[in-house]
Amino acid sequence: MLKRYLDIVSGAARRTPDATAVVGSDTRLTFRELDERVGRLGAALRGAGLAPGDRVALLAANELEYVEVQAACARSGFTLVPLNFRLAGPELDYIVGDCAPAVIVGGRGEHERITALGRERGCRLVGLGPTDPSGDVEPYDAFLASAQPDPDADPLDLDLNTTFLYTSGTTGRPKGAMIDRAGLTARVFVNALEMEARADDRFLHSLPMFHIGAFLTYAIVFRGGATVMLHSFTPEGWFETLQHERCTATVLVPTMIQMLLESPASATHDSSSLRLIVYGGSSIEPPLLRRALERFRCGFHQQYGMTETGAQTILHPEDHDPDDDEALASGGRAAVSFDVEVFDEHDRPVPQGEVGEIVCRGPAVMSGYWNLPEATAETLRHGWMHTGDLGRFDPRGFLHVVDRRNDMIVTGGENVYPREVEAVLTEHPGVRDATVIGLPDPKWGQVVTGVLAGEAPPDDELDAYLRERLASYKVPKRWVRVGELPRNVTGKVLKVELRKELADPS
C-alpha cells in the first residue's frame, strides 16, 4: 500500500534530529529522542496485547508525554482518547465505559483516579512521574523501557481511528467524535498551512491538550518547530514562559486574552518574540480584540470550528483591521480543504445574508460518533457535517456565527439571537462579563434574560442603553446577577447549566 497517514514526528527526526521538539516543566526532548520514545511506546503497547483499533485513554494536564502518546497511537494504529482532567469521577467513568480502553495512562497526580477508573475494568494502568506505592500503576518510563522500536509498526490503514475526542456534553451525554488517520493528517496539514507553521517556531501551548487545539501543537511538531507545554494557565506563568522561551506563536481563548490584558504582568514582561496569536473556542467582541491587537502588535489568527471538524474557517492576520468591525466580528473564510455553506431547514443553501445552519465538509471532518449510528447519520446527512450553529455570509464571504441553534430564543413569535444582544451588552463600559439566555415564560413562551457576572450597572440603566441600540423585543425583560458565569475549558458559557439553574420550576 503506497498511501500512508502522516507521521507527526519522523520527518523532523530525519531532517533536524538534534533540534528541540518538546519542552515540559522540567524536561526537553530533541526530535531524535522523541522519535525513539514514540517507537518504544508503540512497541510496548503491542507487547501489552493491543491490536490496531484498540483504545488508549490519557488523563493528564499539559505534559510533554501527550505528544509521544498521540504520535505512537497514530503510528501503530491505536486510538488515543484524551480525557478532560476537569471532569468529575462519574463523568470520566461514563467516557471510559463508553470507549473501553485497553490501557489508561495517568498524568502526575492522576494515579489514584485512573486506578478507580480502570482497575475493575481490567485496564492496564500506566502512570507518569514517580512510582505509585500501591503497585497498581506501572511507571511509564519502565513501560517504555520494556520494548524496542519497530520500524514496521504501521498497519497501513488510513481508516483506522487515531483519536476519539469526546464532546463537551453541553446538550446531553458526551459523544466520541472519531478522527481516523486520514482525518488526523488533514487536520495537521490545515493547521500547518493556515498558520504558516515554521521550523523555527517555538509554540507556547496554553490550552489543555484534550482540546482540539492539540492539533496546532501536532502541526508545529510536524513542521520541525518546538512546542513549549504550559502545564496550566495563569497570566503570570504565561508571560514568564513566553519571555523565557522566546516563543513565536501561541493559542488562547478570549477569556485568556482578557485575563492577560488585565494582568499586571502585561506591563512588566516582553512579548516581542510573538509573531502569531491563534485564538478561538468562543466568540470575541471587537473592543477586546482591538485592545489585544494594540497590546501585542503581532499577527492574530482566528479559528472557528468544533470537536467534530477542527478549524473550518479562518480569519487571517491581514483581515484583522482594527477599524473593520464587520471583519473582526466574523469567523473568517473557509479553511483550506473545507467547503462551508449555510443551509435552511430543508438542507438547501440560503441566499447571501440570510441566517441558516452552518454546514461543512472536508477530509478533516470526523468519520462519525463512536457507537452512535443514529446521531452520526443525523449529523453527517447528505454528505455535510451539520454543526448546529446558525450563521450567515456577508458580501465579502466572511462567515458570521449568529448563535447555537439550541440557544436561539423565541419570544412572542420573534427570534432573538443571544450573541447579538451580548455583543451590544458587553460594549457597555460597566459590564465586566455577561450572557443572554431564554427562560420559560407563560406569556411570551420564552423571556429574554440577561445574566450579569460581578458588579454591573442597575437594570434600568442597562435597559435604556440597549433600547437605544436594539429592537425592544431583543432587550432582556429579566436580569439576573451571579458571581461568575459557568464556563467550559474553552471559555464557552454553559448555557444549558444556567437555564436549568435559573428556570422557574412553577
Location of C-alpha cell 446531553: 172
- Is the separation of the CB atoms in 75 and 42 below 8 Å? yes
Q: How many residues does the chain have?
A: 506
Which one, of 422, 485, 478, lies nearest residue 446 by Cα?
478
- Comparing CA positions, the residue from 224, 160, 154, 151 lying closest to residue 2 is 154
Alpha-carbon gap, residue 391 to 400, rounded angstroms: 5
Instruction: Retrieve residue 467's grid coordinates.
Output: 433600547
CA distances for 276 relative to 54, 198, 204, 297, angstroms: 37, 12, 11, 9
Distance CA 371, CA 175 (A): 9
Question: Per residue of the chain (506 residues), what is the pLDDT tens digit?
Answer: 445 778 999 999 999 999 999 999 889 999 999 999 999 999 999 999 999 999 999 999 999 999 999 999 999 999 999 999 988 888 899 999 999 999 999 999 999 999 999 999 999 999 999 876 777 899 999 999 999 988 778 888 889 999 999 986 555 688 999 999 999 999 999 999 999 999 999 999 999 999 999 999 999 999 999 999 999 999 999 999 999 999 999 999 888 998 999 999 999 999 999 999 999 876 688 888 999 999 999 999 999 999 999 999 999 999 999 999 999 999 999 999 999 999 999 999 999 999 999 999 999 999 999 999 999 999 999 999 999 999 999 999 999 998 777 788 988 777 788 888 998 999 999 998 999 999 988 778 889 999 999 999 999 999 999 999 988 889 999 999 999 999 877 778 888 889 888 885 44
pLDDT at 416: 87
Q: Which long-range contacts (CB under 8 A, 24 or more apart) does 44-51 make?
A: 44/143, 44/144, 44/146, 44/147, 45/72, 45/73, 45/76, 45/78, 45/103, 46/76, 46/147, 46/150, 46/153, 47/146, 47/147, 48/102, 48/103, 48/124, 49/102, 50/78, 50/102, 50/103
What is the dotted CATH code of the domain comprising 408-502?
3.30.300.30
Q: What is the pTM of this model?
A: 0.85
Of residues 418, 208, 428, 427, the one with CA closest to residue 328 = 427
Give which of 475, 400, 408, 405 is closest to 437, Cα–Cα.
408
Backbone angles phi, psi at 388, to 5 degrees: 80, 0
Of 456, 460, 412, give the one whose Cα is nearest residue 438: 412
Q: What is the largest CA-CA distance in the chain?
A: 70
Cell numbers that stand for 462 in this block: 442597562
Tens digits of per-residue pLDDT, 403-457?
Answer: 777 788 988 777 788 888 998 999 999 998 999 999 988 778 889 999 999 999 9
**Cβ pair 67, 33 in contact under 8 A:** no
Q: Which three cell numbers stand for residue 105?
A: 495512562
**C-beta separation of 448 from 477 below 8 A:** yes
Q: Where are the domains of the chain?
A: 408-502
Burial class for 354, CB neighbours closer than 10 Å (0-12, 13-18, 19+): exposed
Host H or E run for residue 341 = strand 339-343
Measured between alpha carbons, how far is 209 from 61 in angstroms, rounded to an integer? 7
Residue 375, exposed/middle/buried by CB under 10 A (0-12, 13-18, 19+)?
middle
Q: Round to whole Å and give the CA distance between 86 and 486.
A: 13
